[in-house]
């Protein structure tokens, strides 16, 4: 019986424990003019995403997605429609994760779980700001991680 417990205790464990917004900013600098009907109004979107992580204690890591989005109107000299910044984070329980897999878990598995919730918050904030839902495209965190690993090997 103790062998079974030892086997279970040594298996990798991975759980999302808590999600939270660390920082949120929404600016609508040209309201109410920005809402006036414009024929063929075509927005220009500049979106930046940054991923970070930090160890909290022996078994817990914080993983954060930082999203900066600026939407401007192409037809009106790139007049700002809205600017949104969010840092959405989660605490993950990671136990018995082999060291060689830890970087991938933090850069792929954790943000893959967190991103749909971040995407929903961004969409809802844009609606609450008076705009149509701002839908961020799905992100392939595995491809980003693999590209980052290739770049690190090339630089080494």
Q: Is residue 108 part of a domain?
A: yes
**What are the pLDDT digits (tens) for 64-85?**
999 999 999 887 777 899 999 9
Q: Is residue 18 part of a domain?
A: yes
By the 8 A CB rule, do 53 and 64 touch?
A: yes
Q: Is residue 1 part of a domain?
A: no
Total structural domains in the chain? 1
Give the domain CATH number at 27: 3.10.420.10
Question: For residues 143 and 141, what is the distance between their CA atoms, to the nearest angstrom?
Answer: 5
- pLDDT of res. 77: 74
Q: Is residue 129 part of a domain?
A: yes
Q: Is residue 146 part of a domain?
A: yes
Q: Is residue 71 part of a domain?
A: yes
The beta strand positions in 7-152, using DSSP E, are 13-27, 43-55, 60-73, 79-95
Evaluate the omega torsion of the peptide bond into residue 32 and state whether it is cis, within 30 degrees of 0: yes
**What are the pLDDT digits (tens) for 119-131?**
999 999 999 999 9
- pLDDT of res. 15: 96
| 42 pLDDT tier (thresholds 50, 70, 90) | confident
- pLDDT of res. 66: 98
| 7 pLDDT tier (thresholds 50, 70, 90) | low
Beta bridge mates, 60: 93
- Minimal CA–CA distance to 42: which of 85, 83, 79? 79
pLDDT at 1 over 60: no
- pTM of the shown model: 0.87
**Residue predicted with more confidence, 146 or 36:** 146
Q: Is residue 2 part of a domain?
A: no
By the 8 A CB rule, do 31 and 98 touch?
A: no
Structural domain for 63, as ranges: 7-155
- pLDDT of res. 150: 92
């Amino acid at each position: 019986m103790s062998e079974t417990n030892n086997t279970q205790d040594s298996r990798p464990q991975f759980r999302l424990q808590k999600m939270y917004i660390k920082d949120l900013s929404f600016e609508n600098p040209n309201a109410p003019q920005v809402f006036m009907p414009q024929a063929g109004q075509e927005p220009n979107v500049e979106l930046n995403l940054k991923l970070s992580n930090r160890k909290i204690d022996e078994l817990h890591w914080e993983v954060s997605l930082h999203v900066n989005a600026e939407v401007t109107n192409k037809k009106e000299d790139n007049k700002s429609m809205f600017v949104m910044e969010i840092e959405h984070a989660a605490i993950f329980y990671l136990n018995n994760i082999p060291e060689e897999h830890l970087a991938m878990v933090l850069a792929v598995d954790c943000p893959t779980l967190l991103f749909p919730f971040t995407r929903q918050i961004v969409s809802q904030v844009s609606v609450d700001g008076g705009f149509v839902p701002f839908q961020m495209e799905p992100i392939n965190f595995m491809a980003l991680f693999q590209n980052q690993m290739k770049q690190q090997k090339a630089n080494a």
